[in-house]
């Protein structure tokens, strides 16, 4: 098992196509790829349109693709991300929530556009309108600021404009943790707390988050991802045991330009922890069956 269960495409703030994701995942020898764009499943719909249903292909697949999503949530004023691995991505309750989240994103970008205009920077609205993305993100605004020569790079764009103390910062009104988990459950999914060490939380506060996540119905957490240092990883494994959360892993891939978050680039789950691996979850095989198979034939036909 070598699954990458956290990736993005150009339907949210990734820069690559679903075709790139498939061909790269096959080239790297991944067993499973979950596409988990921010608050949208447009990329999953595209994959589903062009790949045969898993039970239709007789030969062993090169790769199994799983439906997923990454939902931005508010937890005590802090933005927390919950990944959902989904059996029925079109479930109405999930789609309602994702529609609301996309609308919040549209409104937030309009407010950021106004703040930028007040600072003398115009054109964000039309730049965003030209994008293929279904879920607009601050990452797109950062790209715009860099492309227009207002900032040297994305980090600076966040620091000067888009992050909390930036000139064009606008807080988002995300859904709650339990709304996200319930919507994922309605889609037969497993809710996974994304990149737990990346939140600005003390150990005690992180434990409080995991406790609330578990109470909300969360079932797993990421314990292996890019740039996770061994001490932080050890702490996460202890917390996963304390809160009885299964282990997930993923690169959080966004772009081919960033080699440190390349597809499949994270330590595999240790053999001693495999009994807690997310693929041991009772729902896993249903999610896998509802997924799509990639074969030589389907890859050859897959559009650019
Ligand atoms: P949003 O969901 O609109 O708040 O956008 C957040 C996205 O922007 C994240 O998913 C990251 O991909 C990206 N991001 C957040 N902070 C930074 C940063 N400091 N530098 C570069 N990208 C960032
Ligand atoms: Mn992102
Ligand atoms: Mn995230
Ligand atoms: Mn992500």
**In the predicted structure, residue 176 carries a pLDDT above the cut 90:** yes
**In the predicted structure, residue 55 carries a pLDDT above the cut 80:** no
The pLDDT assigned to 258 comes to 87
Confidence of residue 56 (pLDDT cuts 50, 70, 90): low
Q: For residue 223, which of 186, 257, 192 has the smallest C-alpha distance? A: 192
Q: For residue 220, which of 85, 19, 51 has the smallest C-alpha distance? A: 85
- For 260, other C-beta atoms within 10 Å of its C-beta total 8
Contact 31, 270 (CB under 8 A): no
**In the predicted structure, residue 57 carries a pLDDT above the cut 70:** no
**In the predicted structure, residue 84 carries a pLDDT above the cut 70:** yes
The pLDDT assigned to 265 comes to 95
Q: Measured from the CB, is residue 70 less than 6 Å from ligand 1?
A: no
Q: Measured from the CB, is residue 11 less than 6 Å from ligand 1?
A: no
Contact 16, 49 (CB under 8 A): no
Q: Measured from the CB, is residue 72 less than 6 Å from ligand 1?
A: yes
The pLDDT assigned to 53 comes to 82
Helices (H) and strands (E) in the chain, counts: 11, 9
The pLDDT assigned to 60 comes to 80
**In the predicted structure, residue 268 carries a pLDDT above the cut 70:** yes
Q: How many residues does the chain have?
A: 304
Cα 120 to middle of ligand 4, angstroms? 31
**Could you give the CA distance from residue 33 to residue 45 in angstroms, rounded to a whole number?**
15
Cα 142 to middle of ligand 1, angstroms? 9
Q: Measured from the CB, is residue 81 less than 6 Å from ligand 1?
A: no
Cα 56 to middle of ligand 4, angstroms? 30
Query: Which whole number is the average pLDDT over 252-265?
Result: 93
* Domains of the chain, CATH where assigned: 3-97+173-301 (3.20.20.140), 104-162 (1.10.150)
**Could you give the CA distance from residue 49 to residue 65 in angstroms, rounded to a whole number?**
12
Q: Cα 216 from chain centroid?
A: 19
Query: What mean pLDDT, rounded, does the chain reach?
Result: 96
Structure tokens at 92: 């109405």
- 3-state DSSP: the chain helix, strand, coil percent, rounded to 5? 45, 15, 40
In this prediction the pTM is 0.97
Ligand nearest to the CA of 81: 3
Confidence of residue 48 (pLDDT cuts 50, 70, 90): very high
The pLDDT assigned to 122 comes to 97
**Could you give the CA distance from residue 264 to residue 2 in angstroms, rounded to a whole number?**
8
User: What secondary structure letter does DSSP report for 3?
Assistant: E
The pLDDT assigned to 58 comes to 65
Query: Which whole number is the average pLDDT over 69-75?
Result: 98
Three-state DSSP state, 9: coil
Structure tokens at 21: 């994701």
| Ligand 1 site-directed mutation target among 113, 138, 180, 252, most atoms within 8 Å of CB | 138
The pLDDT assigned to 245 comes to 98
Cα 225 to middle of ligand 4, angstroms? 11
Beta bridge partners of residue 294, listed in sequence order:
63
The pLDDT assigned to 273 comes to 86
Q: Cα 125 from chain centroid?
A: 24
**In the predicted structure, residue 81 carries a pLDDT above the cut 70:** yes
């Amino acid at each position: 098992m070598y699954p990458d269960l956290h990736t993005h495409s150009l339907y949210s703030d990734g820069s690559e196509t679903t075709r790139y994701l498939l061909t790269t995942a096959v080239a790297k020898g991944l067993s499973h790829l979950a596409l988990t764009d921010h608050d949208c499943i447009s990329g999953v719909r595209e994959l589903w349109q062009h790949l045969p249903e898993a039970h239709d292909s007789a030969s062993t697949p090169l790769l199994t693709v799983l439906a997923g999503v990454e939902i931005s949530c508010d937890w005590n004023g802090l933005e927390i991300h919950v990944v959902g691995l989904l059996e029925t991505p079109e479930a109405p309750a999930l789609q309602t929530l994702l529609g609301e989240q996309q609308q919040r994103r549209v409104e937030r970008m309009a407010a950021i556009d106004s703040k930028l205009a007040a600072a003398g920077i115009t054109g964000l609205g039309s730049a965003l309108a030209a994008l293929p993305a279904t879920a607009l993100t601050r990452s797109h605004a950062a790209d715009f600021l860099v492309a227009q020569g207002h900032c040297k790079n994305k980090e600076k764009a966040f620091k000067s404009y888009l992050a909390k103390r930036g000139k064009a910062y606008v807080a988002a009104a995300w859904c709650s943790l339990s709304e996200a988990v319930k919507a994922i459950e309605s889609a037969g999914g497993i809710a996974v707390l994304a990149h737990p060490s990346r939140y600005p939380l003390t150990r005690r506060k992180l434990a409080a988050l995991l406790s609330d996540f578990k109470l909300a119905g969360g079932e797993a957490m990421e314990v292996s991802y890019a740039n996770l240092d061994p001490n932080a990883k050890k702490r996460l494994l202890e917390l996963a045991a304390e809160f009885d959360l299964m282990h997930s892993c993923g690169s959080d891939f966004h772009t081919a330009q960033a080699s440190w978050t390349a597809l499949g680039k994270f330590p595999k789950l240790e053999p001693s922890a495999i009994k807690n691996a997310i693929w041991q979850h009772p729902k896993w095989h249903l999610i896998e069956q509802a997924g799509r198979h990639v074969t030589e034939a389907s890859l050859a036909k897959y559009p650019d």
